[in-house]
Structure 1
Amino acid sequence: MPIRLFSRPLRWTASLLALTLSACAPAPIYKPAPGTLTALPAQVAQSPQPYGHGQVIWGGSVIGVRNFSDHSEVEILAYPLDSSQRPQPDAHAAGRFIAIYPGYLEAFNYPGGSLITVSGQLNGIRSGMVDQAAYVYPLVNVAQSHVWTPAQMRQGHPDIHFGVGVAGGIR
Structure 2
Amino acid sequence: MRHAAVAIRILLPALLLGLAACAPAPIYKVAPGTLSATPVQVAQAPEQYVRGQVIWGGRVVGVKNLPDHSEIEVLAFPLDSSQRPRFGAGGNGRFIALVPGYAEPMNYPSGAPITVDGQLAGSRSGKVGEADYVFPLVQTAQSHVWTAEEMRSGHPNVSFGLGVGVGIH
Deviations 1:51-106 (A, max 9, x none): 11010000000000000000000000000000000001111000100000011111
CA–CA distance in 1 between the matches of 2:57 and 2:148?
15
CA–CA distance in 1 between the matches of 2:6 and 2:50?
54
Decide which moves more: 7-16 or 138-147.
7-16
Alignment-derived partner of residue 32 in structure 2: 34
Structure 2, unmatched stretches of 5+, are none
Alignment-derived partner of residue 154 in structure 1: 152
Q: TM-score, normalised by structure 2?
A: 0.93
Letter of the 2:34 counterpart: T
Letter of the 1:135 counterpart: Y
Alignment-derived partner of residue 48 in structure 1: 46
CA drift at 1:160 = 1.7
Q: Which has the larger radius of gyration?
A: 1
State whether structure 2 residue 60 is matched by structure 1 residue 23.
Answer: no
CA–CA distance in 2 between the matches of 1:11 and 1:160?
19
Letter of the 1:80 counterpart: P
CA drift at 1:13 = 1.3
Pairs aligned (count): 164
**Map 1:84-95 → 2, pairs under 5 A:** 84-95=82-93
SS in structure 2 of the partner of residue 146 of structure 1: strand
SS in structure 1 of the partner of residue 37 of structure 2: coil
Alignment-derived partner of residue 169 in structure 1: none
CA–CA distance in 2 between the matches of 1:127 and 1:8?
62
Structure 1 consecutive aligned stretches of length 4 or more whose deviation exceeds 6 Å: none
What is the RMSD of the two structures over their aligned residues, measured on CA atoms?
A: 1.3
SS in structure 1 of the partner of residue 122 of structure 2: strand
CA–CA distance in 2 between the matches of 1:114 and 1:24?
23
CA drift at 1:5 = 2.5
Structure 1, unmatched stretches of 5+, are 167-171
Alignment-derived partner of residue 136 in structure 1: 134
CA drift at 1:165 = 6.2
State whether structure 2 residue 56 is matched by structure 1 residue 58.
Answer: yes
Q: 1:78 aligns with which of 76, 79, 84?
A: 76
CA–CA distance in 1 between the matches of 2:57 and 2:78?
7
CA drift at 1:162 = 4.5
Q: TM-score, normalised by structure 1?
A: 0.92
Letter of the 2:157 counterpart: D
SS in structure 2 of the partner of residue 29 of structure 1: coil
